[in-house]
Amino acid sequence: MGRPGQITLYSLSPSVGYVTEKNFDIKGPGDSDSHIRTRSSMRNLIVATAIAVLGISGSLVAGDTMNPAFFGTWKMKAGKSNFDPGPKPRRQTIKIERHGDAFTMTVDADDADGTHTHLTRTAALDGKEVKAEGSREPNAREAFARIDDRSFQRVLSVNGQVRGTLRVTLADDGKSLTTTAVGTNAEGTPVHNTVVFEKE
């Protein structure tokens, strides 16, 4: 609601979904041009500050959100993948699904010796450490974080020491993704795996 000497216009803003108001000063008999300019400048400052705060909040929300192009089922292309040390698994699939503001990742793999591995975890790209479900290390923790719109990473630590980093990168065409794992395994052997997946 405007003050005396103002006209107030209300409009619906589609971008934010609520009603906004705009006040326009009408110069009265006792108002000078400097008074009008001062009030206008103060309102401009308040509006600019509000926009800046909303912009920062929006960036934080967007920064924690996974690109929807990651969602789906991805199948390993053995001929394009490298495991050091091996052996290479016979089959591996990754399924990524939206889970509220977070995501669920399900991994199924058949190792070279025929052992089947099934892992499911729900996480958010917020960089916060959580217990690494399915790990043989009781003190293992993992944290997922967004790198950019087409990549995110998982950092695995044991007893506060980083054990490995997994980076997941989506191709420009959205048809394949590559995971790069660097670190050490439970036996202390260096690991460097590059695995290419194609969307089913």
pLDDT of res. 74: 98
Spelled out in words, what is the top-level CATH class assigned to the domain 68-199? mainly beta
Domain boundaries, given as residue ranges, for the chain:
6-63, 68-199
Whole-structure pTM over 0.75, yes or no? no
Compute the distance between CA of residue 20 and CA of residue 47 in angstroms, rounded to an integer: 11
Q: Tokens standing for 71?
A: 């969602």
- Chain segment 136-184, per-residue pLDDT in tens: 788 999 999 999 999 999 999 999 999 999 999 999 999 999 999 999 9
SS3 category, 55: helix
- Give the pLDDT confidence of 47-96 residue by residue, as tens digits: 333 333 333 333 333 346 899 999 999 999 999 999 999 899 999 999 99
- The three-state (H, E, C) secondary structure of 91-129, written as one string: EEEEEEEEECCEEEEEEEEECCCCCEEEEEEEECCECCC
